[in-house]
């Protein structure tokens, strides 16, 4: 569907060729399943060549149905329901697809008969949702074409005993996006015009189209024209395909999922880090990535026509950062890239690119939206399909080098198996994502060194990208992994970090009872200028005796292993002796805890 829009936008309007415009109307079937004529359905199945034994199975499935109504303190006797198709199983949508197949065949034949220059009509149908798209040199002609095919659908629906609801139909006119520079240019020209002046040239930014097809129910209902957004099969479209409203829909769904998680887990209680990470990957990632092959039009180095704006990428990054902050227990100010590395979560743009490009690679036919020639510019989908073909090529080379199967099966035969091919493509896409994440992590470290933020480096910044960091938290309880994350990233409630974040603390003046808020000083209680994690573990004289207890617990007391292989022991020690208010209850379970009685 979106390929048609982008293909029209890629059309070259030169040498007398007109510019192309795209419009779409969404039709809704009222009571789709209940209105199905069962006899006509069986006849349609028979006409499609369905076996007789299957028809005999379907007939009682459609006819011999009974239901019971259960009300408070009342249950009815069973009674037969002899209308339409039953719902509640995977079979009814397939049966309805067969039932409406003649409509698609009829429309396809009418489209072939149409001889208008530069005019195209496309039909899409999914269960009870039907979409008509028209492409022509003007929105006026689009409306005319949509009316013709709308009338054909209404005529067919009478014979099929289906009822479309024209008053529920929605119309959207897709508008070619214009760069921000052109929008500002038009704005400046309008501001410079006097009250009676006329612009010397047409504005580059055209106003939205307000035309409607000449359909009675639509003309009297201006609300059916969607200027801002239209929900199509779970994807929120807008006329310029900026997908701003779709990202808003994603944010709302993710917020709902996060509220559910907050009921069963917190920073110091509930599910472990492994479980909360799994919840994010299995529950929230699918919400974000739904239909991403259609809307996530983006490549790392840019250059795509009508690609997803940088502002939308920033929204996605902010959304994932919020999720990781919640399930990891990290505190405010922890760098997003560092958290993604510690939790071994690909950045959101890497993940969405992996999902979208692997989907394209698996479903790629010829990869081109249009034939060769100079009629079209390269659209964003063309470039992405080219990258998908490269992915298939790399996956095939790796498959050929690593294939180990029975001797009677050649590599080519194994590659033609969709299961093997899709698995190879998925594995290659995952490998590419790992390489991209490694590159992002190394670039972050390089940028940090170039800015010379500080000579002190938290332990998390001394390691490379990989699953090794996540493995350090394995087997930890929720408060243990939370404190471990804070210690390794140095974003923890010690004075050095609190001072860095400009945290204020209430201080009582010695000469009076007045309380003032002052910035937390970075000094340690021992007088050392910076109260860092390294200082507390390795240097602070106030913790000398406690440090001896820690040395007895670990095999080799070294900074390099203290927050890696010995992380759990270090967390228990810090929980007891760092005196962090966040872990005042969790420290009661510390292996270093000593109660008032000395036991």
Q: Write the pLDDT tens digit of every residue in 216-239.
A: 878 878 888 998 999 999 999 999
CA dist., res. 10 & res. 14, Å (int): 12
Lowest pLDDT segment from 10-14, 189-193, 536-540? 189-193
Task: Give the closest residue to 26 by CA, choosing from 167, 137, 158, 152.
Answer: 167
Q: Are 358 and 251 within one domain?
A: yes
Is residue 33 domain-resident?
yes
Q: Are 242 and 135 within one domain?
A: no
Please, which residues have CB within 8 angstroms of residue 116's CB and are 6 or more apart in sequence?
A: 136, 141, 145
CA distances from residue 25 to 123, 450, 470 in whole angstroms, order as listed: 10, 54, 49
Please, which residues have CB within 8 angstroms of residue 559's CB and are 6 or more apart in sequence?
A: 459, 534, 537, 538
Note the pLDDT tens digit of each residue in 296-312: 998 887 777 778 888 99
Is residue 40 domain-resident?
yes
246, pLDDT greater than 60: yes
In three-state secondary structure terms, 519 is strand
Phi and psi angles of residue 414, each rounded to the nearest 5 degrees, phi first: -65, -35
In three-state secondary structure terms, 41 is helix
Is residue 476 domain-resident?
no
DSSP secondary structure letter of residue 160: T
Q: Are 123 and 241 within one domain?
A: no
Q: Are 366 and 513 within one domain?
A: no
pLDDT attached to residue 369 = 40
Task: Grade residue 252 by pLDDT with cuts at 50, 70 and 90.
Answer: very high
Q: Are 457 and 500 within one domain?
A: no
Q: Are 74 and 11 within one domain?
A: yes
Query: Which among 124, 155, 176 is the end of a domain?
Result: 176
Range(s) of the domain holding residue 501: 493-589
Note the pLDDT tens digit of each residue in 426-467: 999 999 999 999 999 999 999 988 886 666 788 899 999 999
Q: Determine the average pLDDT of the residues in 177-190.
A: 59
Q: Are 273 and 149 within one domain?
A: no
Task: Grade residue 30 by pLDDT with cuts at 50, 70 and 90.
Answer: confident
CATH number (domain holding residue 81): 3.30.70.1130
What percent of the chain has pLDDT above 70?
92
Query: Which among 176, 209, 229 is the end of a domain?
Result: 176
Phi and psi angles of residue 118, each rounded to the nearest 5 degrees, phi first: 60, 25
pLDDT attached to residue 196 = 57
Burial 448-462 (b: 16+ CB within 10 A, else e): beeeeeeeeebbbbe
Is residue 285 domain-resident?
yes
Query: Which among 440, 462, 484 is the end of a domain?
Result: 462
36, pLDDT greater than 60: yes
Q: Are 261 and 136 within one domain?
A: no
Note the pLDDT tens digit of each residue in 71-113: 988 999 888 777 888 887 888 888 888 888 899 899 999 998 8
Task: Grade residue 474 by pLDDT with cuts at 50, 70 and 90.
Answer: very high
Task: Grade residue 190 by pLDDT with cuts at 50, 70 and 90.
Answer: low
Q: Which of 247-261, 365-379, 389-403 has the highest mean pLDDT?
A: 247-261
pLDDT attached to residue 136 = 92
Note the pLDDT tens digit of each residue in 506-531: 888 877 778 888 899 999 999 999 99
In three-state secondary structure terms, 133 is strand
Q: Are 147 and 12 within one domain?
A: yes
Q: What is the residue-averaged pLDDT of the chain?
A: 87
Note the pLDDT tens digit of each residue in 122-162: 999 888 889 999 999 999 999 999 999 999 998 998 888 88
CA distances from residue 233 to 44, 123, 291 in whole angstroms, order as listed: 26, 14, 9
Asked whether the beta carbons of 135 and 21 are under 8 A apart, the reply is yes
Q: Are 521 and 455 within one domain?
A: no
Q: How does strand 129-136 pair with strand 163-164?
A: unpaired
Is residue 263 domain-resident?
yes
CA dist., res. 353 & res. 298, Å (int): 7
Q: Are 160 and 260 within one domain?
A: no
Is residue 120 domain-resident?
yes
The domain total for the chain is 3
Q: Are 452 and 581 within one domain?
A: no
Is residue 375 domain-resident?
yes
Task: Grade residue 284 by pLDDT with cuts at 50, 70 and 90.
Answer: very high
Is residue 192 domain-resident?
no
Q: Determine the average pLDDT of the residues in 181-189.
A: 56
CA distances from residue 588 to 146, 219, 478, 550 in whole angstroms, order as listed: 71, 71, 14, 17
Task: Grade residue 191 by pLDDT with cuts at 50, 70 and 90.
Answer: low
């Amino acid at each position: 569907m979106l390929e048609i829009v982008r293909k029209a936008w890629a059309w070259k309007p030169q040498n007398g060729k007109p510019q192309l415009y795209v419009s779409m109307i969404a039709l809704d079937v009222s009571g789709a399943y209940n209105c199905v004529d069962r006899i006509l359905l069986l006849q349609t199945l028979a006409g499609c060549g369905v076996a007789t034994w299957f028809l005999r199975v379907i007939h009682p499935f459609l006819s011999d149905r009974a239901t019971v109504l259960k009300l408070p303190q009342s249950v009815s006797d069973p009674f037969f329901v002899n209308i339409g198709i039953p719902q509640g199983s995977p079979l009814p949508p397939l049966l309805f697809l067969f039932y409406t197949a003649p409509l698609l065949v009829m429309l396809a034949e009418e489209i072939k008969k149409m001889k208008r220059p530069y005019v195209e009509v496309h039909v899409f149908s999914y269960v009870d949702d039907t979409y008509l798209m028209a492409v022509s040199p003007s929105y006026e002609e689009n409306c005319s074409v949509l009316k013709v095919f709308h009338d054909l659908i209404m005529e067919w629906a009478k014979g099929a005993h289906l009822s479309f609801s024209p008053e529920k139909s929605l119309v959207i006119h897709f508008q070619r996006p214009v760069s921000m520079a052109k929008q500002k240019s038009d704005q400046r020209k309008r501001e410079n015009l006097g009250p009676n002046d006329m612009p010397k040239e047409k504005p580059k930014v055209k106003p939205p189209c307000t035309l409607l097809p000449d359909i009675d129910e639509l003309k009297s209902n201006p609300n059916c024209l969607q200027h801002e957004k239209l929900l199509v099969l779970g994807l929120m479209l807008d006329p310029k395909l900026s997908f701003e409203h779709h990202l808003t829909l994603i944010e709302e769904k993710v917020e709902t999922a996060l509220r559910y998680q907050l009921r069963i887990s917190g920073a110091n209680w509930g599910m472990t880090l492994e479980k909360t990470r799994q919840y994010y990957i299995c529950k929230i990632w699918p919400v974000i990535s739904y239909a991403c092959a259609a809307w996530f039009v983006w490549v790392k180095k840019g250059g795509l026509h009508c690609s997803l704006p940088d502002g939308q990428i920033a929204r996605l990054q902010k959304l994932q950062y919020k999720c990781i902050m919640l399930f990891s227990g990290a505190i405010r100010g922890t760098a997003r890239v560092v958290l993604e590395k510690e939790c071994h979560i690909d950045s959101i743009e890497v993940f969405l690119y992996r999902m979208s490009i692997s989907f394209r690679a698996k479903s790629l036919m010829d990869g081109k939206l249009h034939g060769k020639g100079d009629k079209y510019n390269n659209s964003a989908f063309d470039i992405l399909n080219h990258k998908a073909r490269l992915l298939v090529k790399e996956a095939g080379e790796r498959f050929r080098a690593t294939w180990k199967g029975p001797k009677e099966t050649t590599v080519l035969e194994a590659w033609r198996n969709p299961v093997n091919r899709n698995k190879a493509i998925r594995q290659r896409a995952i490998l590419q994502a790992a390489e991209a994440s490694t590159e992002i992590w190394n670039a972050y470290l390089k940028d940090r060194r170039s800015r010379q933020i500080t000579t002190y480096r938290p332990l998390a910044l001394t390691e490379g990208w990989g699953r090794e960091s996540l493995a350090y938290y394995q087997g930890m309880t929720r408060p243990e992994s939370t404190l471990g994350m804070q210690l390794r990233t140095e974003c923890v409630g010690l004075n050095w970090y609190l001072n860095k974040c400009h945290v204020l603390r209430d201080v009582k003046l010695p000469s009076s009872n007045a309380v003032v808020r002052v910035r937390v000083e970075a000094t340690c209680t021992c007088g050392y200028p910076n109260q860092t994690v390294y200082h507390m573990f390795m240097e602070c004289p106030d913790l000398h005796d406690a440090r001896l207890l820690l040395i007895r617990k670990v095999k080799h007391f070294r900074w390099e292993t203290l927050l890696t292989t010995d992380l759990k022991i270090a967390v228990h020690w810090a929980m007891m002796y760092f005196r962090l208010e966040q872990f005042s209850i969790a420290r009661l379970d510390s292996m270093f805890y000593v109660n008032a009685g000395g036991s």
